[in-house]
Amino acid sequence: MSSQRKIKPHQCSVCQKEFKRKSYLTIHSRVHTVEKPYQCSECLKAFSQKANLYLHQKLHTGERPHQCSVCLKTFARKSYLDDHLKLHAGERPHQCSVCLKTFSKKSHVLSHMRVHTKEKPYQCSECLKAFSHKLSLNKHLSVHSGEKPHRCSECLKTFSLKSSLINHLRIHTGEKPYQCPQCKKAFSRKSTLDMHMRVHTGEKPHRCSKCQRTFAYKSSLIYHLRSHARKKIKRINVS
């Protein structure tokens, strides 16, 4: 007997997608109407689904019920934990089409591509300086505000971002949760791991504007630029 197609009586009038329950159609319709009826009482951010509001509220309560069994780091969402576990497993299924560097998340590939495209979509409203990543813009904004509300309980050093404080605390705890999938070397910061990976990938994103030579690290480019400056001074002295 041939299998019959399951009947889904509730259809979206915009995209014709079908749902077996009216409640599912109601939630889906907010994709088109941009309706966000669920609002956070703390920061007033609004959401289209109640479940997303519940997950968001954990940011304010500090609840982090999902723990990594390897390094014991905790997360507010299971999806965050799943992404984190890929670091330990060495799983990096998403690859850059330009330099073939691999990543554990697709969003990381999209963010990385700005190294090649030089796109800087995040602009400071104060000085109009632009950045490739939102996190870089957030860090920059502290230059204007000067606010550093996050204090280390060990050495009392203050930070403008909570993420900066978390990274700093690893100096005291010795925690190194980011491991290289190639040589298993561990690092306290993801940015340090990303730079280290260039040893294996051969990526050299920093280019000299004078001679077009490329470098894996910005510090190497800065050091190289001094050679051009010295040559220029030497030519001036000779003339």
- 5-9, 144-148, 156-160, 226-230: which range is least confident on average? 5-9
| Distance from the Cα of residue 40 to its chain's centroid | 24
Question: Looking at domain 64-203, which of 3.60.15.10, 3.30.160.60, 3.40.50.2300, 3.10.580.10 is its CATH number?
Answer: 3.30.160.60
pTM as predicted: 0.40
State how beta strands 18-19 and 38-39 pair.
unpaired
Q: Does the pLDDT at position 3 exceed 70? A: no
**Same-fold call for 10-58 versus 64-203:** yes
Confidence of residue 215 (pLDDT cuts 50, 70, 90): very high
| Tens digits of residue pLDDT in 68-84 | 888 888 888 788 888 88
Q: For residue 47, what are the β-bridge partners?
A: 38
Q: In the CATH hierarchy, which top-level class contains the domain 10-58?
A: alpha beta
- 175's CB contacts (< 8 A; 6+ apart) are 71, 169, 188
Domain ranges of the chain: 10-58, 64-203, 204-239
